Structure 1
Amino acid sequence: MLPNYQKSIVNVSNALLNHYGVKPFHTPLEVLKPYLKDKKHIMYILLDGMGMNILKNLSENTLLRQNVKMALTSVFPPTTVAATTSVLSGLTPYEHGHIGWTQYNRFEDCQTVIFQNLDFYDETHILKNEFAKTHLAYENILEKIAKKNPNLFVKKLFPDFEEHGYPSFEAMVDELISISKKESSFTYTYWNEPDYTIHSTGIHDGKVKLQLEYLTQQIERLYQQVTKDTLIILIADHGLVNVEGVELHHHPILELLDKMPSVEPRSTVFFVKKENQKAFEAMFNSDFGSKFTLLNKETLLASGRLGSGIKHPLLDDFIGDYIAISEGPFMFNMKENSPFKAHHAGGYPDELWVPLILLEK
């Protein structure tokens, strides 16, 4: 399944840019326009991993399920690095260059964990520079909106893995309630659940339902305490699917590569020595062809999966020579046996479909 870049999380962010007088990069999501009108407070909330399939862990009469206005697609790959960057930038992965957990860093010749600035395969290697801040920097939508609207209170709320972050979603909701008492505001809130729980339990475990019920309770508390001129926009970056691991880290196919594999376990990029390309294709299709779809670089770009716009100058570095996409319940164990019971970033519809939930009094 391919993303629909006319009805995606990218288009939500572009609708917000357009609403606040900033020229959008892509088509604004039309369904949002009447909801945004005359709102003094707009709260943009992203719950990591709460795809349409995950939302079904809640009963149909809950506040969140009753207020799903439509299903949107995520971006490709449907994973946090790519999708949250698209939400924060209004750009597609083709433009902003964030495509997965690990990406090739030509400046230090390693596969870099983008959000942590670590060498994925060598923990002893200390990187000299912050790769993402140096080579993948962008102006986010909050900065653009704040510049255009100097009298608007604008704030980003993140968990406490960031400086000045919040220790709980409850604390974030407390802050949003406080902000709603200001004259006017635009806020973006990111929370790392239910994704964190689902990875270790699978998509239907009782702990997932408990986590979703907690998040729903907090959203209901926020909804009850904000004023009538407030709009709460709730989305996700991706869904998840239950997975089983496929061993890659000791496989002889690695001997055909120029660099170690990267990006994501369900959308894995391979860098193949030129003289080994036919051998690579033959071995891959023999050993993994029933579990993964193999695309070369040219086919990936021509498919439009990564979106459109001005191509990021380092994108070719990141997408290698081939990408293997899982459309079933499989993920590569790229470094060692994985503890994950569920994952994302593949081509399965449940990973791509996310809700657009709109709450107004």
Structure 2
Amino acid sequence: MDLACPGAAWPDYRGGSLLNLMQTLSGELGGPDLGHAPLRGDALDGIGRHRHVCLLLIDGLGAAQLRRLGPDSRLRAGLRDEISSVFPPTTAAAVTTVLTGRAPAEHGLIGWHQLHGDEIVAPLPLYVRHPAGSANAPQALADSLFRAPPLFERFIRPAALLLPDFIADSPCSRFHAGAAERVAYHGLDDGFGQLQARLRSTTPGFHYLYLPQLDTLMHERGPDSAQARRLLAAIDAAFAALLETAAACDAAVVAIADHGFVAAPASQWLDVDADAELYGLLARPLSGETRLAYCHARPGCAGRFVELARERLDHACWAVPSAELLAAGVFGPGTAHPELARRCGDVALIAKPGWNLRDTLPGEKTLRLAGVHAGVHPDEQAIPLIACRPVPMA
């Protein structure tokens, strides 16, 4: 992609991304043709012939994290390929691609915070960041925000989504599960245990297990922390036990991530709102992510904002007109969501390695994280494709 961001990693939507994986998986399981290129390689070929197919999404387990934290893990032993996520490589965009089979350009969810109507909302937890005092409730936001139809309900075999108890019945989960079964679990052991129990059924099924625990920990403690290493070891032990059950139940197991991670040094957080002249050119607060900020300029001020941002913030980020991102296709192929261009704003500030961008509204605590994602560092974009099949009996 021809964008002036040296060293940047972008998704490979021509056959090497999460979007392409979902295109191939849908075909294997009798789902719709989503109109995208299939996944290159044979990692998923014939997977639909197995009685059970499991898709584990380990939030935040990028390819770099798997190499560094679990070099001798059972997960890494099952690695078939490293593929790219989507843009931006963040849960709102990538998990929605998994659940719908649609690119971020199509489903329209492009950040932790994004413009929706005249409000800046968080599309997963469904709250309004700006303006303060909005009367919009989570269900009302869900009803107006989500539009890409759920994918799993359209597979020819029964599908179930195993989700942490604190999100299993959220408006976001209810919409994106559609008619598929939602199953709440309570902690790692229960999640894996319920999945193993389901594999013992003689009825073919598709089982999606979403694991957000590692992502949460790496945000708090950092992607290379001892705590992250220990948690991955616990996930890996549960994964190894799952494979034993899978081998006896004709179950194929695929494990992926939604994005990777990079560390967020405390000394490299840039407060965009500290520059009164620059921030004053914006019509509303920043949206997007700390590694990718969408900037909506006041009428007639976009050019001056780009000029000042490049002059004053060049050490920390690239200031890219949002029209260039859209023209380059970074959000993926397909028919663009009608609000995509508006949600991207006039300018995107893309953080350079090590840097994060923020503003702080009245009533908010200053955001501090030890690990982050959603930018263009290769460690944010590359994710593992792990696939394990039962060995046929001799």
**2:82 corresponds to which residue?**
71
Closer, same or farther in 2 for the Cα pair 1:188/1:102, shift >3 Å?
same
* SS of structure 2 residue aligned to 1:32: coil
1:203-214 map, 5 Å: 203-214=223-234
**2:178 corresponds to which residue?**
none
1:1-361 map, 5 Å: 1-5=9-13, 6-25=15-34, 26-29=36-39, 30-106=41-117, 109-122=118-131, 124-127=133-136, 130-145=140-155, 149=156, 152-162=157-167, 163=169, 165-182=184-201, 183-226=203-246, 227=248, 229-243=250-264, 244-252=268-276, 253-335=278-360, 336-361=365-390
Q: TM-score, normalised by structure 2?
A: 0.86
* SS of structure 1 residue aligned to 2:259: coil
* Structure 2 residue identity aligned to 1:344: H
Whether the aligned pair in 2 keeps the contact of 1:58 and 1:65 (CA below 8 Å) is: no
Whether the aligned pair in 1 keeps the contact of 2:89 and 2:381 (CA below 8 Å) is: yes
> 2: CA distance between counterparts of 1:156 and 1:326?
34
The alignment covers a number of residue pairs equal to 354
> 2: CA distance between counterparts of 1:190 and 1:123?
32
Unaligned runs of 5+ in 1: none
Write out per-residue CA displacement over residues 4-44 of structure 1, whole angstroms, 9 at most, x where no aligned residue.
Answer: 01211111111111012223221222423435152110000
Unaligned runs of 5+ in 2: 1-8, 170-182
> 2: CA distance between counterparts of 1:257 and 1:238?
29
> 2: CA distance between counterparts of 1:60 and 1:278?
47
Write out per-residue CA displacement over residues 100-124 of structure 1, whole angstroms, 9 at most, x where no aligned residue.
Answer: 0111121xx2211111221114554
Query: Percent of counterpart pairs with the same letter?
Result: 25
The Cα of 1:228 is off from its aligned counterpart by 5.1
Q: TM-score, normalised by structure 1?
A: 0.93
Comparing 242-251 and 3-12, the one that deviates more: 242-251
Closer, same or farther in 2 for the Cα pair 1:89/1:278, shift >3 Å?
same
* Structure 2 residue identity aligned to 1:225: T
* Structure 1 residue identity aligned to 2:274: H
> 2: CA distance between counterparts of 1:249 and 1:121?
15
* Structure 2 residue identity aligned to 1:206: A
RMSD: 1.6
* SS of structure 1 residue aligned to 2:300: helix
* SS of structure 2 residue aligned to 1:257: coil
The Cα of 1:263 is off from its aligned counterpart by 1.1
